[in-house]
Copies of this chain bind each other. A is one copy, B any other.
Amino acid sequence: MIPMEAAVRGEGGAGKVNFSAPRNFSTVFKSDLKETLFPDDPFHDFKGKTLPEKAKKSVKYFVPIFQWLPSYTTKLFMYDLLAGVTIASLAIPQGISYAKLANIPPVIGLYSSFVPPLIYAVFGNSKHLAVGTVASSSLIIAGAIEKRVHEADDPQLYLNLILTATLISGLIQLILGVFRLGILVDFLSHSTITGFMGGTAIIICLQQLKGIFGLKHFTTHTDVVSVTKAIFKNKHEIRWECTLVGIIFLIFLHLAKMVKQRKPKLFWVSAIAPMVVVAVGCIFAYAANAEKYGIAIVGPLKKGINPPSLKNLDFDPKYISAPIEAGVITAFVALAEGIAIGRSFALMANQQIDGNKEMIAFGLMNIVGSLTSCYITTGPFSKTAVNYNAGCKTQMANVVMSVCMLLTLFFLAPLFSYTPLVALSAIIMSAMLGLIEYDKAYHLYKTDKFDFLICMAAFLGVAFISMDVGLMLSVGLALVRALLYVARPASSKLGNIPDTSLYRDVEQYPGAINIPKTLVLQLGSPIYFANSSYIRERILRWVRDEQANKDSQDDVEYVLLDLGGVTSIDITGVETLIEIRRSLEVKEIKVVIVNPRLEVMEKLIVTDFVDKIGKDSIFLSIKDAIEGCKFSLAQ
């Protein structure tokens, strides 16, 4: 077999290297764009469909409610009803307390659990996410607006700017989603999420100690140190009655969970437990006049649903910079938190989340929210965890919560007003404690130290600094690793596995034998600017080591570069191949290329590399290349 002749013919037939002309730019660009933005190929079965069918499918794709509602059953609804009622009972105290964090009227917090969940139920992607206000965004939005207008000076203007910031935040989230920047979510790894969940569970548990101990004064910080300090500082306020009730509730919830673990058939015991705690708590608080003993209750609530707030939006150039700043920051923080949490629970339930659709859903719910007296909402961890634990099955749980909020706002306020805060704290803590995955962290430690580091960065960052810093630290570390992978790709020397035509890494397969006068190197990963100088160094080092190797009697005459594992190459990469060839030519070593893949071959042709090196220096397989070299040696 004389591969040179075969190769020179340059046809894409069997056994020959395909040197046909590269695809044009627009074809490659379209294909790349599709892979980048629509990897799930949502329109794959559009071919041959009529226009109305296409429209129907598109609507189904972009509005998830049309996917799950048609097959929705009464049985599923029973689960969602239970979960929805449970999270509604959480939404009231959370709404009130986070609204206080943002210095706005408590009722705004309640409004924010009525409209946005309805929007999310229509456009949302995650089956477990419960919509509501969160501590981090509440703090950030207040901080940014306070820079320009103090709440005490002009409460109405302050509230208007908060609503304006919410609108801006929603618009940004919508735009990110429409431009399909959900790819950003791919950079949240399992390790990051494990650490992030663990850290968040810890800080939310600590926050609940306020309720468990019945403290009146606490801190607005979330980190472990501040919270611990706050508890010690206010330890004279601890009410043993309250703590006792809290511990009883916790034990009850834990026992309910154990029942579920022991006898999976009795799973409903665990699911109904939070509602039981709320009901028992209400009755107990009403009957025992619990407030006297320092067991705080939710308290009376203003009646009536969300008033429209279009007129409240304020774009006065004098103040606009503050809501813009607040909007931009909270848009990202709320997205990162909401999507990370949605993804976490999706992972646990072995489902998938499309980051783009989530962004659109969050965007729409904040835009509509800002027009109906709601401030920034996302998927809070505690609520979502309770929702998941209460056994929610679909986005319907949000609708149930929303209806509950409607009823609450109209009629039930007096009933829920007796819920002891300690009961809510116990429900949240119980949900959190199940989410710290010690065994998974240990598994990471055993199998991949860098992944463990990424996980710990999220865990410790969230626990000791803040949620956003923890997340950024961890994602930053993960990106550094991604870039290191790219900057230092593995390469290996191949040898022939006896009695076969296979060539494998000699380190991995010590039985593989060297080919005389020839060094076969396998390169991996893309070759481009970030690693090209490393690859050049490394290849020259392989050659130097090979020449210093006393086992091989002959000098190296051929270097075969197996590019089968190289998925792409850029200009710097091609130039590096040329440089390598030039450097080795000086040492009278010939460089031969084996099996470049489609994208690489295109780039080699378009940069005239193929013409420079000659088509007779490019082979389809290592075997062909070695035979080709032998042939030219014999000449």
Chain A residues proximal to chain B, CB less than 8 Å: 12-15, 18, 25, 29, 32, 35-36, 39-41, 44, 183, 186-192, 350, 352, 443-444, 446-451, 478-479, 482-490, 492, 497-502, 504-505, 507-512, 524-526, 528-531, 533-534, 537-538, 541, 544-545, 564-568, 570-572, 575, 579, 582, 595, 597-599, 601, 603, 606-607, 620-621
Report how far A205 CA is from B628 CA in the complex, Å: 53
Report how far A482 CA is from B510 CA in the complex, Å: 34
- Closest-CB distance, A597 to chain B (whole angstroms): 6
- Closest-CB distance, A252 to chain B (whole angstroms): 35
**A186 & B530 in contact (Cβ 8 Å cutoff):** yes
CB-defined A-B contacts under 8 Å, sample of 9: A13-B511, A14-B498, A189-B572, A446-B606, A482-B528, A486-B486, A490-B568, A490-B599, A492-B597
**B492 & A598 in contact (Cβ 8 Å cutoff):** yes
The 9 A-B pairs of least Cβ separation, nearest first, read A189-B529, A565-B565, A524-B567, A490-B567, A508-B598, A190-B572, A14-B498, A14-B511, A39-B537
Report how far A502 CA is from B32 CA in the complex, Å: 27
Given the interface pairs A499-B15, A541-B40, A606-B446, the reply to whether A525 lies near B525 with Cβ below 8 Å is yes
Report how far A490 CA is from B39 CA in the complex, Å: 12
**A508 & B544 in contact (Cβ 8 Å cutoff):** no
Complex interface: chain B residues within 8 A of A505 (CB)? 597-598
Choose one: B511, B512, B524, B621; the contact of A597 (CB below 8 Å).
Answer: B524
**B12 & A510 in contact (Cβ 8 Å cutoff):** yes
Complex interface: chain B residues within 8 A of A444 (CB)? 571
**B571 & A448 in contact (Cβ 8 Å cutoff):** yes
Report how far A443 CA is from B574 CA in the complex, Å: 13
Choose one: B192, B488, B570, B595; the contact of A504 (CB below 8 Å).
Answer: B595
**B529 & A497 in contact (Cβ 8 Å cutoff):** no
**A14 & B500 in contact (Cβ 8 Å cutoff):** yes
Choose one: B352, B447, B534, B601; the contact of A607 (CB below 8 Å).
Answer: B447
Report how far A186 CA is from B18 CA in the complex, Å: 33
Complex interface: chain B residues within 8 A of A545 (CB)? 44
Complex interface: chain B residues within 8 A of A188 (CB)? 529
